[in-house]
Chain A
């Protein structure tokens, strides 16, 4: 099946630890995105990548880092510098270079709790 997978579904960490969230897609999409959702809020963009080995900061990149070594993978690291890391994290992807290429598709999300 084609789609976007995120793992793990739930993640618990102690304050001060870095943690990496996985996002994989087999849709052959070029662009990938990371969003954060807080309770009762919409999604906010953390980082995005249009092509392999290139990525850009979104609106709330502080305390996060990413890599894009492969087209199908876009892992997000939540570092100890992120002041409020507890949130729901969603990964998305979209094709590019075609009509309707701006439509984004989302993975199931990872709920991160830091105590």
Chain B
């Protein structure tokens, strides 16, 4: 099955710093989502981005489907950005919309 790898696994930032999170996947996809899991466990949808670039405030994401990777950019980080960021993909062939998750990047933003 498709493999999803996220890097780095852990990231510690000072408030105000910028960061880039990476998601590599091993096969063609027709769905790619970025999520933020808050300390209470809730998964918050950040981006639905199987290809192209999107921006939402301080966050932006780019997926290069032909090269099988996606990047999540966080600018001017805040302590509320702390948590785990997950990338999840859906496979192109035989997909029922199921998502395959990476193991996440744990982000800690220090004041």
Contact = CB atoms under 8 A, between A and B. Distances in A.
A96 interface: yes
Interface of B: 4, 30-31, 33, 35, 40-43, 45, 48, 50, 86, 88, 90, 95-99, 101-104
A77 interface: no
Given A42-B103, A42-B104, A43-B86, A104 B97 contact: yes
Contact of B86 (A42, A94, A102): A42
Given A42-B102, A43-B99, A104-B97, 19 more contacts: A33-B98, A37-B41, A40-B103, A41-B103, A42-B4, A42-B88, A42-B104, A90-B41, A92-B99, A94-B97, A100-B48, A103-B33, A103-B48, A106-B35, A106-B42, A106-B43, A108-B41, A108-B42, A109-B43
A8 B81 CA distance: 27
A68 interface: no
Contacts of B103: 40-42
B33 A42 contact: no
Nearest to A110: B41
Give the contact-size bracket for chain A: 20 to 34
Interface in A44-93: 44-45, 48, 50, 56, 58, 88, 90, 92
B41 A104 contact: no
Contacts of B31: 102-103
Contacts of A33: 98-99
Nearest to A31: B97
B41 A102 contact: no
B96 A31 contact: yes
Nearest to A101: B97
Contacts of A111: 41
A76 to B, nearest CB: 16
Contacts of A40: 103
